[in-house]
């Protein structure tokens, strides 16, 4: 069944009622049989009792069949509909992943900052505003951690601003944090960290990999229960 999940579901009130009927019928049959065989010696009464017992046995059989049919009934449950997180963030330049119970929204520094700078670009602010809108809708009240990362290239041109990659990554994550607050994340649910070059997602042997490592992760804590 394409696009649908099949789940086994019992109609509890219906089945409970059937079980009650079934139990009552069995007890009635037993009572009739006992009273008919022990206390009632009249042949016509015994014949009448046997007829009633046969009718009850037929009803019991019908109830058992209906009960089995209800218990085995398969109900189609539609899969949840709606856009995925990636779909909702389309156009922001962000990518998403999960890490245990965390949802990680990654934005490359080439989208957020100019080289050597911790000042957000106008495009970055628009992307972050969209990310805030999605986070507040999908993860209301969840704590957010903003992680800044760099590659392993030492600071050269902007050494008067940043003494090392620790400082640069911290300044960039702080800039993103402030913009997220400005766009609607409450201050009591967000904090930041700078990891410098020490939490790469790829080795720093190539230019492409170094670009991957220069990033900011917006981490929704406990967003993936």
pLDDT of 44 reads: 64
Q: How many whole angstroms separate alpha carbon 180 and alpha carbon 128?
A: 7
Domain limits of the chain?
Answer: 4-78, 85-220
DSSP state of 56: H
pLDDT digits (tens, 9 = 90+) for 73-114: 645 545 557 899 999 999 999 999 999 999 999 999 999 999
pLDDT of 61 reads: 79
Total residue length of the chain: 225
Q: Helices marked H in 150-192 — which ranges?
A: 165-183
pLDDT digits (tens, 9 = 90+) for 187-202: 999 999 999 999 999 9
CA 160 to the chain's CA centroid: 46
Closest CA to 199 of 166, 154, 155: 166
Range 138-158 average pLDDT: 96
Q: Name 55's Cβ contacts closer than 8 Å, sequence gap at least 6.
A: none
The answer to whether the beta carbons of residues 86 and 96 sit under 8 Å apart is: yes
CATH of domain 85-220: 3.30.1330.60
Residue 22 in this model has a pLDDT that exceeds 90? no
pLDDT of 220 reads: 98
CA 4 to the chain's CA centroid: 17
Q: What is the pTM of this model?
A: 0.65
Q: N- to C-terminal Cα distance for the chain? A: 28
């Amino acid at each position: 069944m394409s696009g649908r999940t099949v789940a086994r579901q019992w109609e509890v009130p219906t089945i409970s009622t059937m079980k009650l009927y079934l139990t009552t019928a069995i007890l009635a049959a037993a009572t009739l049989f006992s009273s008919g065989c022990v206390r009632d010696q009249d042949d016509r009464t015994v014949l009448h009792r046997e007829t009633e017992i046969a009718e009850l046995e037929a009803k019991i059989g019908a109830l058992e069949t209906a009960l089995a049919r209800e218990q085995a009934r398969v109900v189609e449950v539609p899969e949840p509909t709606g856009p995925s997180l990636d779909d909702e963030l389309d156009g922001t330049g962000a990518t998403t992943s999960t890490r245990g119970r965390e949802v990680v929204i990654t934005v490359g520094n080439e989208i957020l900052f100019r080289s050597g700078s911790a000042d957000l670009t106008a495009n970055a602010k628009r992307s972050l505003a969209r990310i805030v809108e999605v986070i507040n809708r999908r993860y209301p009240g969840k704590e957010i951690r903003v992680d800044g990362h760099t590659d392993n290239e030492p600071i050269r041109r902007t050494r008067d601003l940043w003494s090392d990659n620790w400082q640069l990554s911290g300044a960039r994550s702080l800039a993103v944090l402030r913009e997220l607050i400005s766009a609607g994340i409450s201050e009591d649910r967000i904090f930041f960290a700078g990891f410098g070059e020490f939490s790469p997602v790829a080795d720093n042997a190539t230019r492409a990999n170094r670009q991957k490592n220069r990033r900011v992760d917006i981490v929704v804590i406990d967003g993936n229960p």
